[in-house]
Amino acid sequence: MPRSDQIDDKQNKLGKARRFQGASLRDVAKLAGVSVKTVSNVVNNYPHVTEETRMRVQRALEELNYRPNLSARNLRNGKSGLIALAVPEIDFPYFSELARLVIKVAGERGYTVLIDQTGGARDREKLVLAGIRPQMVDGIIFSPIETGKEDLLERRDDTPLVLLGEGATDGILDHVGIDNVKAARVAVRHLLDLGRRRIAAIGAQPGVVVQTGHLRLRGYYEALQEAGIGIDQDLIARAPVYHRHEGAEAMRKLLELKDPPDAVFCFNDLLALGAIRTLINFGLRVPEDVAVVGFDDIEEASYSNPTLTSISPNKEQIARIAMSMLISRMEEGTTTPPREEQVDFRLIARESTLGVRCQEQVVYDSLQEDKARNNSALMEG
């Protein structure tokens, strides 16, 4: 039996030097004195291999520290086992929390996740749709910001793709999200229930209509209308990016109004945390002077000071459903019309609306559809 150091060095066989790739099936087969097929059988745990042969092959695999070449395997199998998660920026807490779950769920299903950061820029998002990293990934989970309906319709690439978060994709592609309008309505209604009447909104977005910001704004309108309160355009603040800084800026402007708000509904938690920062800088009390509600329920919402009332979408459900949809396209090649799925959400009330030292309360649960159910998870134990 040849020793491992007698295996020809591939560097010599190739014209050009190349990083040594490790042992191949052929090397192992040679060392074990069997055919490549048999080694492959052992590696892939196929039956029909004599125990003795198996042992011999195992030893050879060990000795050569064999590692299958995934590029070759993928080429042969026509798939890579890789999916892309395309998000604006991975360090937005909402996206990093979602990414953790997507990576976890994908791992359970045998997939590896690579991350694409679009920065929420339309041209980078178009690249995602056009098939960035062609045939490197079997599928894509995509959380767009600026992508519009036209962009989706123009798409030529046929890599399976599931959309996340956006509101109206009009059944062009598989999509999983939450009922943004309803969630926003629930959030604003909570403020109304607490007696607030001058309720501001932070996070309206200029331009494109097919967007999260638009839907949440609609929910805001509907809640106020239901309560018979007129819309004051001065109370609606824009935010091109949903980050702390923009929330702080927007709040500052709202405080300059001659009749400033007594509550503010922010279209995500980062905006809300920025807004709170401004309120505190101005010496105002939250929620006594201004109550604040956020959206996303990132972990920080449970620890900020004050803790933040927020709409809490079921993120694990988002990850699971997105992955299931994607797998059914990737593996089963499903060609049914695009599916639209909505996940559960809750409104979790905390100090920023209930007051200091209040217990955390689940004020609304889309799963239960009954209000004021008190989950009584005593805050901080």
Partner DNA sequence: CTGAAAGCGCTTACAG
Question: Which residues are near its own copies by CB under 8 A?
Answer: 18-22, 65, 67-72, 74-75, 78-80, 82, 89-91, 93, 96-97, 99-100, 103-104, 107, 112-115, 117, 131, 133-136, 156-158, 244, 248, 273-274, 276-278, 280-281, 299-300, 302-305, 330, 333, 357, 380
Work out what residue 258 binds among DNA, its own copies, none; the CB cut-off runs from 5 to 8 Å by kind: none
Residues facing residue 200 across a β-bridge: 264
Contact call for residue 49 and DNA (CB under 7 A): yes
**Binding test (CB under 7 A) with DNA, winner from 5, 6, 12, 14:** 14
CB of 268 to its own copies, least distance (A): 14
Q: Up-side HSE of residue 238: CA atoms within 13 Å toward CB?
A: 4
Contact call for residue 13 and DNA (CB under 7 A): yes
What is d(CA 85, CA 125) in angstroms, rounded to the nearest whole number? Answer: 12
Work out what residue 301 binds among its own copies, DNA, none; the CB cut-off runs from 5 to 8 Å by kind: none
DSSP letters spanning 193-223: HTT--SEEEEEE-SS-SSSHHHHHHHHHHHH
The residue type found at 219 is G
* Burial 195-216, CB ≥16 within 10 A → b, else e: ebebbbbbbbbeeeebbbbbbb
CB of 123 to its own copies, least distance (A): 14
What is d(CA 131, CA 159) in angstroms, rounded to the nearest whole number? Answer: 7
Q: Tell me the C-alpha to C-alpha distance, in Å, between residue 224 and each of 25, 86, 196, 227, 304.
A: 68, 35, 11, 5, 28
Work out what residue 207 binds among its own copies, DNA, none; the CB cut-off runs from 5 to 8 Å by kind: none
Work out what residue 63 binds among DNA, its own copies, none; the CB cut-off runs from 5 to 8 Å by kind: none
- Applying CB under 7 A, what is the total number of residues that bind DNA? 34
Contact call for residue 19 and DNA (CB under 7 A): no
C-alpha angle 129/133/134, rounded to 5°? 80
What is d(CA 277, CA 59) in angstroms, rounded to the nearest whole number? Answer: 63
Closer residue to DNA (CB): 81 or 119? 81
Task: At 150, list the tokens.
Answer: 């036209």
Contact call for residue 37 and DNA (CB under 7 A): yes
Residue 192 contacts residue 186 (beta carbons within 8 Å): no
Contact call for residue 41 and DNA (CB under 7 A): yes
Work out what residue 304 binds among DNA, its own copies, none; the CB cut-off runs from 5 to 8 Å by kind: its own copies
**Binding test (CB under 7 A) with DNA, winner from 6, 12, 44, 45:** 44
313: left (phi over 0), alpha (psi -120 to 50) or beta: beta
* Span of 62-70, 81-89, 152-160, 281-289 interacting with DNA by CB under 7 A: 62-70
Residues 6 or more apart whose CB falls under 8 angstroms from that of 34 comprise: 53, 56, 57
Contact call for residue 16 and DNA (CB under 7 A): yes
Closer residue to DNA (CB): 64 or 275? 64
Q: What are the residues binding DNA (CB under 7 A)?
A: 10, 13-16, 21, 24-26, 33-38, 40-41, 43-44, 47-50, 53, 66-69, 72-73, 75-78
